[in-house]
Amino acid sequence: MSKTTEKNADVTHQSDVVNYKLKRPKTIDGVEYESIDLDFSSLTGNDIANAEVEMLSRGNIVAGPAEFNKTYLMHISARAAKLPVETLKQLSIKDLSVITMMTQNFLME
């Protein structure tokens, strides 16, 4: 990826990190989040395997391609954001939907 900065609505791409600005700041476990950085370039096959293990250990079963499953996409998004999946689950449905769609787009490129 190039080192340019590209803006589209509430999303900024700089280098290999995507910054998503939340619709409203959200305080989770005493930390205020105004945006979420997603470092997709840091992800590896281990992240996919570990996300699947986490999901199965919580009783989540993926039917069909994982890239279309919101729970799977939340787990991969959390790994890209270097945050616990429980943190992402506390975001607004609109913010979480955009983040998981960005993750899905990354995986499907």
How would you write the chain as a 3-class SS string? CCCCEEEECCEEEECCEEEEEEEEEEEECCEEEEEEEECHHHCCHHHHHHHHHHHHHCCCCCCCCHHHCHHHHHHHHHHHHCCCHHHHHCCCHHHHHHHHHHHHHHHHC
Number of domains in the chain: 1
**Domain span at residue 43?**
5-108
pLDDT of residue 55: 86
pLDDT of residue 65: 85
Residue 52 has pLDDT above 60, yes or no: yes
Give pTM, 2 decimals: 0.84
Residue 16 has pLDDT above 90, yes or no: no
Residue 7 has pLDDT above 70, yes or no: no
